[in-house]
Amino acid sequence: MTTLARTPVRARHGLLSRHEIQTLLLPMATLAVVLAPIFWINPNTMSYFGLGLLLNLAVPMILASMAQLCIIAVNDLDLSIGAFISLVSCIAVTWLPERPLLGVAALIACVLLYAAIGALVELFDLPSIVVTLGLSFVWGGWALILLPMPGGATPQWIQDVMNLAIPVVPTPIVYAVLIALCGHWFLMRSSLGVRLRGAGGNPKAIVRSGGSVVRAKALMYGLAGVLGILSALTLVGITTSADANIAQRYTLISIAAVILGGGSFIGGKVSPIGATLGAITLGIAASFLSFLNIAPKWQIGLQGAILIIVLSMRILLSARGERQ
């Protein structure tokens, strides 16, 4: 269980502590196992363009996973993030180019609403799953009102950010590393991040040290809203248009990515770097199948299988660790 005192100060070697590196071994191995056959079958994928194409859609998925990670860190679960990202995508291709002020105001309102839901969940001791399931209908309905038919046009500046050609290292990798490091620094290193995680790991300790769990949850939910917005903006930057269900599948994929990355439901134990690796792994599962000539209908099944295999490995490894 991650508590306030758990951040190992002495064992820290530069960027990551030994414990953090151990947590990351399994997600890294999983990514390697999925990547290796792709590189083996088609070595061209190892090039600048190949990697860029392979990881093209990874950035919005990583941001969605980060949003989910914020919620899981405070012991809750967000079943509405996919619908939320769909809604913001619709706002981004309708209001944002036509009426920028209204668009920005709507996005700010979304973040505040998210934060309010976080406070509500804590204040009334509500099951987050049920509340966010209801919330998903609110986001989904609003998206449908905004954009009944697929369409719209993404503002040019968003497309430019996503099409930016960074030399030497493929752009999606640069973005992924940036997101992972920012997330790691904020949640695992900054004192605010540690306090916020404490709201999931040991709420009593937070209250006794004069903090407020309600405020922490509101902040984390609000942060999830901000990350969800970033995810939607990067998504429409790639797709250039949107529809009301564009990101529905992100809900479950983001949970899976956090869990794959070493996150656990109990005690606010999360790893931003691990979640990034998890999101990339799940994202390239589709390419993995197409390189192996397997029908895309097995994509989601493969994602489930990866999850089950990794969780089994975790059990096996921890059982061995206990025996030693």
Q: Which residues bind other proteins (CB under 8 A)?
A: 77, 120, 124-127, 129-131, 133-146, 148, 244, 252, 255-256, 259, 265-266, 297-305, 307-308, 311-312, 315
What's the min distance (Å) between Cβ of 125 and other proteins? 6
CB-CB contact of 204 with 51 (8 Å):
no
Q: How far is the CB of 207 from other proteins (least distance, A)?
A: 16
Which residues, 6 or more positions from 3, have their beta carbon under 8 angstroms from its beta carbon? Answer: 198, 201, 202, 205, 267
- 147 or 220: CB nearest other proteins: 147
**C-alpha span between 62 and 273 (Å, rounded):** 10
Nearest residue (CB) to other proteins, 297 versus 323 = 297
Of 45 and 128, which has the nearer Cβ to other proteins? 128
8 Å CB contact between 89 and 246: yes
Cβ proximity to other proteins, 186 vs 265, nearer residue = 265
- The one-letter code for the residue type at 57 is L
Give CA–CA dist 299/321, Å, rounded. Answer: 33
Residue 277 near residue 87, CB atoms below 8 Å: no
Closer to other proteins at the Cβ: 102 or 305?
Answer: 305
Encoding tokens for residue 52?
A: 């860029």
Question: Reduced to 3 states, what is the DSSP secondary structure of residue 18?
Answer: helix
Distance CA 207, CA 66 (A): 26
Q: What's the min distance (Å) between Cβ of 299 and other proteins? A: 7
Q: How far is the CB of 277 from other proteins (least distance, A)?
A: 18
Cα-Cα end-to-end distance for the chain: 20
In the complex with other proteins, which residue's Cβ is closer, 181 or 300?
Answer: 300
Shortest distance, CB of residue 271 to other proteins, whole angstroms?
Answer: 16
Q: Provide the minimum distance between the beta carbon of 236 and other proteins in the complex, in angstroms, as a whole number.
A: 19
Query: Which residue, chain included where needed, has tokens 């914020």?
Result: 70
